[in-house]
Amino acid sequence: MADDDFGYTTWGRDWVRLAQPLRVTRPDPRLPRARALAKGGKVEVTIGAGKIRGTVEHGRTTPEVSIEVTPLSGPALSLIGTQARTVLTDEMYRACTELGHPPVPKLTRVDCTCPDNSGRCIHVLAVFYDMAQRIDDDPRLALDVLTPSDGTDQSETIPQRWTAFDALDPAEYFTVR
Ligand SMILES: [Zn+2]
């Protein structure tokens, strides 16, 4: 299966799931194109606490993707925090899940500078796949994203053009800009 290249660790698989939610069974023609962008090295990401910024080289355009992630809860962080500096294993993932704190990334904001405001444009999908790849290579990146930023008020650093992902109203997608 083509998907085997992405998400072979439990930590990376979560990011594949963001692109391919289990509840979606219809083939999405954007997915193979997004995978090709990620595989072809067309995606560059900057990862910070609770934030990802991606630049996707797509034809003649280079849209910028911004993603914000809810930090892990305290119990899950303290469970993996002590050991995770060396390696983040599938066992740690399971241990968190068994404690009731699955370390699944929950997105709070998704934005892309391209005209597609759905939050699932090909560039966002490409960043999800790229993250899966990078996290497979080094699962500690998953923790970098899920770690709360210390002390800074995130609401001040969020550019205003960002749209709250949960607040998206399909009726307004094409009238906002
Ligand atoms: Zn886009």
pLDDT by 10-residue block (mean), the chain, 177 residues: 74 94 85 96 94 96 96 78 68 87 91 93 97 92 83 43 45 40
Q: Name residues whose C-beta falls within 8 Å of residue 145's C-beta, 6 or more positions apart in sequence.
A: 47, 48, 49, 50, 51, 52, 69, 105, 131
Residue type, 146: L
DSSP helix/strand/coil, 76 = helix
Please give the backbone phi and psi of residue 173, each rounded to the nearest 5 degrees, phi first. Answer: -50, -45
Ligand 1 centroid to residue 103 C-alpha, Å? 26
Sequence letter at residue 109:
R
Report CA(105)–ligand 1 centroid distance (Å).
20
CA of 111 to the centre of ligand 1 (A): 8
Spatial strand order of the sheet with 51-56 comes to 43-48, 51-56, 64-70, 106-112
Question: Residue 84: what pLDDT?
Answer: 52
Distance 138 CA to ligand 1 centre (A): 26
Q: Measured between alpha carbons, how far is 46 from 27 in angstroms, rounded to an integer?
A: 29
- Ligand 1 mean position, distance from CA 174 (Å): 14
| Tokens, residue 167 | 């607040």
Residue 2's pLDDT is what?
44
* CA of 152 relative to ligand 1 center, distance in Å: 28
- Choose among 67, 61, 30: nearest CA to 45: 67
Show me where the domains of the chain are located: 2-23+36-149+162-167
